[in-house]
Amino acid sequence: MNLAVISVAALAIAVLVSCFTPVNVGVLAIAMAWIVGVYIGHIPLNTVIAGFPTPLFLTLVGVTLLFSLAQCNGTLDKVAHHAVHACRGNRGVVPIMFFVLAASLASIGPGNIATAALIAPMAMTTAARANIPLFLMAIMVGNGSNAGSLSPFAPTGIIVNGLMARINMGGFATQTYLANLLAHAAVAFSGYFLFGGLKLFARSGSAPAVVDADALLPATKADKPFNGRQVATLAVIAAVLVGVIFFELNVGFAAFAGSVVLVLSRCSDDGEAIKKMPWRVIIMVTGVTVLISILEKAQGIDLLVSLVAKISTPGTVTGVVAFIVGIISVYSSTSGVVLPAFLPMVPGLASQLHITNALGIANAMNVGGHLVDVSPLSTIGALCIAGSPVEDTKPLFNKLLVWGLSMSVVGALICWIAF
């Protein structure tokens, strides 16, 4: 059998396994890359090993460690609590504030999943206490977290920018981030106002427009002023961001340096922080990248490109790829499996369809894959449901499932129009 076909079949198996089993697909992908590459394709072992994305691994570990330290000492939690009180109890503003807070936090470094894990429990509790529909709060928190996911400082943004650099499409980090942010903002606010958000601004007998802000959240240590360790943590994060933005420091190594400062100054516990890092996602992404490198060498990417090109035209390709990526992302990891599998196809698709602007295809994949991630079958949607204080979460599950699946179509339309 042709090696290209075998390599594509190996990728398909990896994607299916990621959809229907708890097995870490990164571990499976590395094993498959070894078998397919060395024993079937007769590719030298060192060449297979060279497919491991060492720069990406170091960057992901550095950034996630820094923000894991900030989470362990309560800095991020305190930022979130202070933001809630800034709304002064206005019911209509509270979900909007949570969107802005989630997008901002995800953008500066923790990423979408860590931000949702931090924000969702507080947001859903606040919604229940203020008589705000849980579905509205979930789509604002979920889309807010995803809106910041492709920031150059966030783990998923680092992954995507690394993948695009591998296909000679580096230098588009800002455009990629803004395209994703604007798409999620448009979808979130449209859904919020369409499904009842406007009513939250109006006074009614049973649900006033303004409620007691202190009653929205239970009294916790997070309500107190920032302590010295937390102020120092914010200062270190700010210094890292300034160094990366204005002095072009490597974000991964700058984050490692910032982490060392926090640990040596006893601002946070590195042992606890390392345990809380998203190792499963890191292994998933780097492992799949090794398998993708085998596809590139076996011309499996060219085979996938030809298959997608057959059902696309220059005028429809952005909508087609957004729909395909979106449907798969409902069940599989967007950053760990889907985008590493599909982004390498962009140059080939642009070439076969005679499209000069390949960035539009890449943006369609990035946006289409992330818009569906508020589904309860995804981590972010599941975190919103898990944070709900209501015992019967079935209605919320059903609404988020319909929302997530519909976003594969909505995302395809948005990408077809915008890109």
pLDDT of amino acid 129:
77
Contacts of 351 (CB under 8 A, 6+ apart): none
Question: pLDDT band for position 205 (50/70/90)?
Answer: very low
Mean local confidence (pLDDT), 92-106? 91
Q: What are phi and psi of 264, to 5 degrees?
A: -65, -30
52 or 213, higher pLDDT:
52
pLDDT mean over 280-302: 84
Neighbouring CB atoms inside 10 A of 311's CB total 10
What pLDDT shows up at residue 258? 95
The amino acid occupying position 140 is: M
Q: CA 108, 113, 119 angle in degrees (round to 5)?
A: 75
Q: Are 367 and 183 in contact (CB under 8 A)?
A: yes
According to the model, what pLDDT value does residue 322 have?
94
Mean pLDDT of 255-277: 93
The one-letter code for the residue type at 64 is: T
- On the question of pLDDT at 9 being above 70, the answer is yes
- The pLDDT, as a whole number, for residue 289 is 84
pTM of the model: 0.77
**% of the chain residues with pLDDT over 90:** 40
Mean pLDDT lowest among 84-88, 236-240, 384-388: 84-88
pLDDT tens string 323-349: 999 988 877 778 877 888 889 989 999
CA-based angle 28:32:34, to the nearest 5? 120
Least confidently predicted of 11-20, 37-46, 367-376 = 11-20
**Number of other CB atoms surrounding residue 255 within 10 Å:** 30
Q: Which residue has the tokens 């129009």?
A: 417
Q: State the pLDDT at residue 292.
A: 83
Q: Which of 313, 284, 298, 379 is nearest to 344 (CA)?
A: 298
Mean pLDDT value across residues 142-151: 94
Which tokens in the block code for residue 394? 């079935």
Cα–Cα distance list, 395 to 129, 133, 327, 373 (Å) = 18, 11, 22, 18
Q: Angle 279-297/3-20 helices, nearest 10 degrees?
A: 160
Is the confidence at residue 186, as pLDDT, over 80? yes
* pLDDT band, very low/low/confident/very high, at 95 (cuts 50, 70, 90): very high
The pLDDT score that the predictor gives to residue 64 is 82
**Residue 122: band (very low, low, confident or very high) from pLDDT cuts 50, 70, 90:** confident
Mean pLDDT of the 13-29 span: 82
Three-state SS for the chain is CCHHHHHHHHHHHHHHHHHHCCCCHHHHHHHHHHHHHHHHCCCCHHHHHCCCCHHHHHHHHHHHHHHHHHHHCCHHHHHHHHHHHHCCCECCHHHHHHHHHHHHHHHHCCHHHHHHHHHHHHHHHHHHHCCCCHHHHHHHHHHHHHHCCCCCCCHHHHHHHHHHHHCCCCCCHHHHHHHHHHHHHHHHHHHHHHCCHHHHHCCCCCCCCECCHHHHCCCCHHHCCCCHHHHHHHHHHHHHHHHHHHHCCCHHHHHHHHHHHHHHCCCCCHHHHHHHCCHHHHHHHHHHHHHHHHHHHCCHHHHHHHHHHHCCCCCCHHHHHHHHHHHHHHHCCHHHHHHHHHHHHHHHHHHHCCCCCCHHHHHHHHHHHHHCCCCCCCHHHHHHHHCCCCCCCHHHHHHHHHHHHHHHHHHHHHHHHHC
Average confidence score pLDDT of the chain: 86
Q: What is the average pLDDT across 117-130? A: 80
